[in-house]
C-alpha cells in the first residue's frame, strides 16, 4: 500500500469517533497512510467488534478523545450535539483539532466548539465504500475542506493532512466554508439527488401506469434505465449523455425537458434553498428528531410502500448480474477485511 507522505508535525494522533460507512473508510485509509488512529466507540456494540477485527485499538469515546490531537466526529448528525457536550467538550485536549465531515451542527449552532479548539471540515465527495475502494487501488475521491476556527494555528495543516490521508489529494481538494458545504449539500440532496430524483421517478411511473401501460414496462423506462443516463452524466456531463443517446431522444430532451422542469420548478427549488439558508429546514428536522421521528417514519413508509418498489423487487429478482455484483462486492470486502485484520 502506498502511504501518503507527511511530516511528523502534520501527523496528529487521530481519534475516529463512529465506525459506520464513512468512519470505517476514514480510519482504514488514515492508518494505511501512516497515521496513529484510535477508534472511539461504546463497548460491546457491533461496530466495536468490527473495528477490533479490523485491527484497531478501540477505546471508549472519552478515552479516545482525551488522547487525541485530532478528533474526527463521524457519527450521525443528530447525535453529535450530545456527543460534543458530554464527551468532547469536557475531555478534548487544549488546542486539539475538531474535525467534521459535514458542517450541519456547527453552521446551525447546535455545536459551539470551545474557543481553544481548531475546527475544520473534510468531506469526501463519495460514500465510504468508494472512499476506501479508490484508496486501495491507488486513487482517491475528491474532498472539500474548510476552517471554522483556528486559534492554535494548525487548522489548515491538519485539514490538508487528513484529506491527504484519505487519498483526497490524489484526486482534488477544494476549499469551501462550513456554510457553503452545509447549504449546498442539503440542497443537492433535497432538490435533485434524493428528493427530486425520487419524486420524478415515482411521478413518471404513476403517469404511465395510470395511462394503462404495464407496471413492468414503466419500471424499466423511468427507473431501471436511469442508471445508464446517470453513468453518462458522471463520466462526462450532459455532453457525454448527448453523445450516446439517439437523435430522437435528444430532440425529446430539448422540447420536453423544459416542460417538466420549468421556471416554476426552479422557483420551488429557490424556496427550498431559502428554507435551508434561513434555518427553517434545520429547525424542522431537529424538532422532528426530538419528537421521535413521527413524520419521518410515515414519509419513509410511504416511499417503501409505493407500487414501484414491489414491481422493482419482482423484476430485480431475475437480474442475475445484480446478484453477481453483490456477491463480488461482498467477496472483495471480505478479502479486504481479512487483509486489514492480518496487517
DSSP state letter for 223: I
Could you tell me what percent of the chain has a pLDDT over 90? 89
What pLDDT was estimated at residue 11?
87
pLDDT beyond 60 at 3: no
pLDDT beyond 80 at 218: yes
| Each residue's pLDDT tens digit, 5-63 | 344 445 899 999 999 999 999 999 999 999 999 999 998 889 999 999 999 999 999 99
What pLDDT was estimated at residue 339?
38
Q: Model pTM? A: 0.90
Mean pLDDT is lowest, of 38-47, 72-81, 105-114, for 38-47
> Which residue from 15, 302, 9 is spatially nearest to 157, judged by alpha carbons?
9
* Contact in structure between 208 and 222 (CB atoms under 8 Å): yes
- Give the mean model confidence (pLDDT) for residues 194-215: 98
pLDDT beyond 50 at 4: no
pLDDT beyond 70 at 211: yes
Distance linking the first and last C-alpha atoms of the chain: 11
Mean pLDDT estimate for the chain: 93
CA angle in degrees (0–180, nearest 5) for 267-268-273: 95
The answer to whether 8 is annotated as binding is no
Mean pLDDT is lowest, of 27-31, 36-40, 90-94, 318-322, for 318-322
Positions marked active-site: 102
The answer to whether 225 is annotated as binding is yes
pLDDT beyond 90 at 64: yes
The answer to whether 47 is annotated as binding is yes
Looking at per-residue pLDDT, the higher value among 46 and 239 belongs to 239
What pLDDT was estimated at residue 150?
98
The answer to whether 36 is annotated as binding is no
| Each residue's pLDDT tens digit, 254-299 | 999 999 999 999 999 999 999 999 999 999 999 999 999 999 999 9
> Which residue from 302, 314, 305, 306 is spatially nearest to 216, judged by alpha carbons?
314
What pLDDT was estimated at residue 321?
87
Looking at the DSSP bridge assignments, the partners of residue 118 are 97
* Grid cell in block for residue 162: 487528513
| Residue 225 to residue 244: CA distance in whole angstroms | 13
| Residue 30 to residue 32: CA distance in whole angstroms | 5
Amino acid at each position: 500500500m502506498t502511504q501518503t507522505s507527511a511530516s511528523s508535525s502534520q501527523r496528529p494522533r487521530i481519534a475516529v469517533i463512529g465506525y459506520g460507512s464513512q468512519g470505517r473508510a476514514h480510519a482504514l485509509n488514515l492508518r494505511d497512510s501512516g497515521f496513529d488512529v484510535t477508534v472511539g466507540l461504546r463497548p460491546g456494540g457491533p461496530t466495536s467488534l468490527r473495528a477490533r477485527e479490523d485491527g484497531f485499538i478501540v477505546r471508549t469515546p472519552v478515552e479516545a478523545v482525551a488522547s487525541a490531537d485530532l478528533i474526527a466526529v463521524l457519527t450521525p448528525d443528530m447525535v453529535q450535539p450530545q456527543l460534543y457536550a458530554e464527551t468532547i467538550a469536557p475531555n478534548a485536549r487544549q488546542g486539539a483539532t475538531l474535525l467534521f465531515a459535514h458542517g450541519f451542527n456547527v453552521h446551525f449552532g447546535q455545536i459551539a466548539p470551545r474557543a481553544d479548539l481548531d475546527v475544520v471540515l473534510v468531506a469526501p465527495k463519495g460514500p465510504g465504500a468508494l472512499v476506501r475502494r479508490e484508496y486501495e487501488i491507488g486513487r482517491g475521491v475528491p474532498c472539500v475542506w474548510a476552517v471554522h476556527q483556528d486559534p492554535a494555528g494548525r487548522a489548515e495543516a491538519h485539514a490538508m493532512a487528513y484529506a491527504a490521508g484519505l487519498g483526497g489529494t490524489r484526486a482534488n481538494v477544494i476549499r469551501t466554508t462550513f456554510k457553503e458545504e452545509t447549504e449546498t449539500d442539503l440542497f443537492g440532496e433535497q432538490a435533485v439527488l434524493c428528493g427530486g430524483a425520487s419524486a420524478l421517478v415515482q411521478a413518471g411511473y404513476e403517469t404511465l401506469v395510470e395511462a394503462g401501460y404495464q407496471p413492468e414496462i414503466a419500471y424499466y423506462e423511468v427507473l431501471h434505465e436511469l442508471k445508464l443516463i446517470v453513468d453518462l452524466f458522471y463520466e462526462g456531463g450532459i455532453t457525454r449523455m448527448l453523445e450516446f443517446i439517439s437523435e430522437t431522444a435528444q430532440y425529446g430532451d430539448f422540447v420536453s425537458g423544459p416542460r417538466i422542469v420549468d421556471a416554476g420548478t426552479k422557483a420551488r427549488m429557490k424556496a427550498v434553498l431559502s428554507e435551508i439558508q434561513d434555518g427553517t429546514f434545520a429547525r424542522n428536522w431537529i424538532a422532528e428528531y426530538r419528537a421521535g421521528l413521527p413524520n419521518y417514519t410515515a414519509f419513509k413508509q410511504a416511499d417503501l410502500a409505493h407500487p414501484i418498489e414491489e414491481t422493482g423487487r419482482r423484476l430485480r429478482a431475475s437480474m442475475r448480474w445484480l446478484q453477481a455484483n453483490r456477491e463480488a462486492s461482498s467477496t472483495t470486502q471480505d478479502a479486504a477485511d481479512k487483509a486489514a485484520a492480518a496487517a
